[in-house]
Every structure is written in structure tokens, then in C-alpha cells.
Structure 1
Amino acid sequence: MTTGTTSGSARPQDARRQLITEHVLARGTSTVAELSELTKVSVMTVHRDLDELARRGVLRRFRGGVSALPSTVFESNLDYRLGVNVAEKEAIARAACALVEPGMSVMLDDSTTALALARLLVDQQPLTVVTNARRVVDVFAGRDGIRLIALGGEYSHTHDSFLGVPCVEAVDALSVDMVLVSTSAMDARMTYHQEQDVVLVKRAMLASGTRKVLLMDRTKLARTALHRLAPVGDFDHLVVDAGIGGELLGELRERTDVRVADTV
């Protein structure tokens, strides 16, 4: 058992916690001793990591170890999503950014891929940005040349965004040039999400846009979830990373314009 931090082998905190999360999700449960050996840090450090991951709602603590929460819980958690497939999301954001022209009005959802895109769009001035995501609001707030419209509603700590009937009604009052969204799952024909409140907001967003863009990394492909969101063919563009399989790519291209983003 590792009792102290091993010099040169300890991972940075965020990367270590991501490793712990992926290890537990793959196995269902794990012990503190096992995670200490895996990460090459002390048991005390692992305990602190697990306390934080439990606080975020990613994992569940029990005496001597930790277990995975149901996938519908941790996959919705923003803190978890922020640490997953970062390079792929940034590549997708770069490709999607090319679709946006100065002077447009765009609506961004509360996905982490849309957040990555927001950081690139600050230079596409002038621009009108509509969003229900608090962190996207933070990106654009106070920026010259940006008209920012924040969608209200019931605050969701899990998503760090605003949802519910007030949000849907706010979206319904608007019409934008382009809506850019992501979701948790899709197959060759349909997109899905595991949460009803999220689906209702995303559907309203899609109905408000002249052009609709779907942003999806490969981990969300060839999967389904409880609620149907919209057919793939309803989107004008689909932006995916280069990890997509060839057969699925061919099927998707029969239904919409697909742009494959290379990870640098």
C-alpha cells in the first residue's frame, strides 16, 4: 500500500480524480487502498479526492471504498463532463466556430462542448448570444461587440444552468440564426437525452433556430437514452471528432451534413 506521495509519479489533481472516476465506473466499486496504488498517492490524498468526487455527485462513498452512481446521474453532472474528452470537444468547437459568422444571432445550450465553443466565439464580433448556461454567460459578460441574452428558469446545480417551464417560455419568444447544441446519446437516426427537463429545453431551442447544429464527441455515438430528442435529419450540420466509425459516419451522412473535426 502506498502511504505517501511518490515523487515524480503523482498525477495532477484533476487528472488523478478523472482516473479514479474512470476506474470506478469501469469496475462498479473500488477500495481506497486500490485507488492509492493506482494513482501513486497517499491514502489520505485518495480520501480527499473521494470526498470531493462524492460532493460533486460523481461517485458514492462507503466505508473503506467507493462505488459508481447510476450512469444517468454522473453523466449529467457538469463537473464530470468538464473532464471528459476535452481534446475532442475543443476540436469540435473549432470546427463549429467556422459555421458562425460575425453579425449572427446564436443560441448555445448548457453542454460542455458549447462552453468550449463559447470561448472561441468571443472574437466573432459583433454577435448576439443567447444561452441558458451560467458558465457561457460568464464567458461573454462584459465583452465589447457581444449582445448577451441570458435565459432564465429554475437553476439546476447539476448542469449549472437554467431549465424548466420559464426557460422554455423564454426560448419560445426568440428566433435566432443558429442553434448549437449537444446531447448525451445518438444513433444513426435519432438523438436522445436521459432527462426530460433537458429534452424540453433543447427541443424549444431547436425550434427557435433557422439553422441547427449538433455537436457530438465519439463517446456519445451509437448509444441511446430514455427520451428521444430529435431525428438526426432535423439538423443542418453534425460536427463530430475523428474517432467516429466509418460505417456510422456513412449512415449519418445520408441524413445530414457531417463535419469531422481532427484533434490537434
Structure 2
Amino acid sequence: MKYEKDDEVQTAPAVPAAPAVLPAPAVLAALDGLTPEARRAELTRYVAERTTAKVEELAERFQVSAMTVHRDLDVLARAGLVERIRGGARAIPRHLSERDVRLRTGTRSAQKEALALAASALARDGDIVAFDDSTTVAAMCPHIAVRRPSAVITHSLGVMHRLSRDHPDITLVGLGGQYYPETDSFLGAVVVDQITRVFADVAFLSTTSLRNNALYHPDAEAALTKRALVMMAERKVLLVDSSKFEVKNGLYLVVDLAAFDDVVVEATLPAEHRAQLERLDLTVHYVPAT
């Protein structure tokens, strides 16, 4: 390009080509040390942030071969965490990977009510109680008041509303952060930070997926939050129905099943899953069918 200045012809300096965008050295080092499971978790997050991603882009980003990316995407697609498209993958909308709380509330409601009633009896009078955001645990709200808890700690907005409306005498500790309408709760690092500043005598949780003697969840932020609740409480109680066993829609590890002290489950649980629970050092409470 040329331009005139003071009657002289000047040549504009060449503009250097922009360098290719590559991960920073620190990022490369971190990616190099990832296990296949951790790489797939990061790959899922990467696709979710960008909506779609090509195989070549993912191979460059994660410093692996295109064949490895294809295998990873196949695994994630089977788990329902991404959708395969020509040459890459598309993110699954969050409401499809973690079903809307309104849909989950109406699913297996009789079983949830039975589990919730039985679990409420495990709280001692005056306990500080923690609730996760599951619809199974939310069903405990009408029953927990009879235990006269010193306080209820929760990150579930739905539980906050129910307890503040129906039991205003209960001290309610709400954990806030980024709100997710799909779960009607607050999830993520801000919530986890608050969890580290409180204590509960007993925490009640449920799960999306229970397999290989561990709890899994399809969402990383939810898994992080549930894990923090388990670690914070002195006693841990899991409410789970038979539909959650060996379900493979959860990518992110929450905790090992052995982290719990008590499991509240349907009496109709198949023998193979009964044996799985009874091999562990925890107390299993079988709830009769309703």
C-alpha cells in the first residue's frame, strides 16, 4: 500500500500475519497430564461453551489425534453429553442433560414420598440439617419439621420457598450463587465457598446416577456442589430409588458410595443391587413399596 506525504511516495510497513491461536504453554502442560476421563470432561465443557466444535479444532486444542477425538466424542454421545454432527460435535442443551425440575418432581412421586418420609426419621431432634437440590430430598420438607432441626442449610431455591412459607419457625440458611432454573437451585464455586463456612450434623442427598459404587452427575457444577455438601456434614444420608442404579447419563463423579453412612432405598430393589449396597460399610434402610 502506498500513500503521499510531503510530495514523497511512502510505503506503509507490512502488517505481520496474526499467529495461529494455540493453547498457552501452561494449558498444554495441563492437558498433557489429563486422564481420558478428565479429557472428556474438559472436552464436554469446551463444546458446551462454543455450541459446536470440529474434530480438527478439538484435536489441536487437546493435543491428541483426530482418531482419539472421534473415540471421545462417541463415548460422550452415548452418554448423552454431546450430539455428533458431521465433522464434530454439538452441545446438548442443558435442559436435556439435566431434566427440568418440574418434570422430575412429577416422576416416581410415590417412591420419592416414601423415601423422604423414611429419611426424615434419621434426623435427630435439634440437628443442623443440609438438603441438596434433588426432588427426592425436597419431598422431606413436610416431614423434617417434626424433628425440630436447629437449622436447615440448602442451595435449593424451591426448598427455601417451601420451608420459609410452611415452617417459618425453622432457621433457614440459604446458599446463593449462580442460579440454574433447570434445577431451581444455586450451583458452582460461589456456593461451594459458602458450604465450607458452615456445618451440618446430617446432609441428605439424592443422585442422578449410581454406578460402580459411586455417584455421578451430568453437570460439573452440580457434582461440585453435591460433593461439597457431603464433605461438610458429619453424617451423610443418600436417598435413591431403583431407577438410578447403573444409569449412565452422568459424566462427573460426585463421591464414592462409601462416603455415606446411610442409604434409604426401595424394598423392591433387585437382589444384585442389594448385594452391591450390603458389601459396603453403611446402613441400608429398605422402604416398603407404597
When normalised by structure 2's length, the TM-score is 0.64
Report if the CA contact (8 A) 1:74-1:80 is conserved: no
Residue 194 of structure 2 is matched in structure 1 by: 170
Question: Unmatched 5+ residue regions in structure 2?
Answer: 1-91
Q: How does 1:4-23 map to 2 (within 5 A)?
A: none
Alpha-carbon deviations, 1:188-246, whole Å to 9, x = none? 51111111000000011111000011111111112232111111111001111123101
What residue number does 1:262 align with?
288
Q: Residue 234 of structure 1 corresponds to which residue in structure 2?
A: 259
Residue 199 (1) aligns with residue 220 (2): no
5+ unaligned residues in a row in structure 1: which ranges?
Answer: 1-68
CA contact (8 A) 1:188 1:248 kept: no
Deviation digits for residues 25-57 of structure 1 (CA, Å, limit 9, x no counterpart): xxxxxxxxxxxxxxxxxxxxxxxxxxxxxxxxx
Corresponding residue for 2:272? 247
CA distance in structure 2 between the partners assigned to 1:126 and 1:240 by the alignment: 23
| Number of positions where the alignment pairs a residue of Structure 1 with one of Structure 2 | 196
Say which SS state the counterpart of residue 239 (structure 2) adopts: strand
1:151 paired to 2:164: no
Note the C-alpha offset of 1:154.
0.5
Runs of 4 or more off by more than 3 Å in structure 1?
69-72
Task: Select the residue among 140, 146, 151 that pairs with 1:117.
Answer: 140
On the 8 A contact 2:153/2:172 being kept in 1, the answer is: yes
Query: Which residue of the partner structure matches residue 99 of structure 1?
Result: 122
From the superposition, tell whether residues 148 and 71 of structure 1 become closer, same or farther in structure 2 (CA, over 3 Å). closer
Which one has a bigger Cα radius of gyration? 2
Q: Of 129, 136, 147, which aligns to 2:159?
A: 136
RMSD between superposed Cα atoms in Å: 1.8
Distance 1:71 1:173, change over 3 A: closer
Q: CA offset at residue 110 of structure 1?
A: 0.5
One-letter amino acid matched to 1:243: T
| C-alpha distance in structure 2 between counterparts of 1:220 and 1:163, whole Å | 21
Distance in 1 separating the partners of 2:244 and 2:158: 22
Match of residue 55 from structure 1: none
- 114 and 208 in structure 1: CA distance in 2 versus 1, 3 angstrom threshold: same
Give the whole-Å Cα distance in 1 for the aligned partners of 2:247 and 2:95. Answer: 13
**1:243–1:123 Cα change, 3 Å:** same
When structure 1 is superposed on structure 2, of 251-260 and 88-97 the one drifting more is: 251-260
Q: Compute the displacement of 1:74 (Å).
A: 5.6
Aligned counterparts of 1:230 and 1:253: Cα–Cα separation in 2? 18
Please give the alpha-carbon distance, in whole angstroms, between the structure 1 residues aligned to 2:206 and 2:182.
16
Range with greater deviation from structure 2 (98-107 or 240-249): 240-249
Q: Could you tell me whether the CA contact under 8 Å between 2:98 and 2:182 is conserved in 1? A: no
With over 3 angstroms needed to count, the CA separation of the structure-2 counterparts of 1:70 and 1:170, relative to structure 1, is: closer
Are 2:239 and 1:212 aligned? no
Displacement of 1:126 after TM fit?
Answer: 4.2
Q: 1:146 Cα deviation (Å)?
A: 1.0
Give the TM-score, by structure 1 length.
0.70
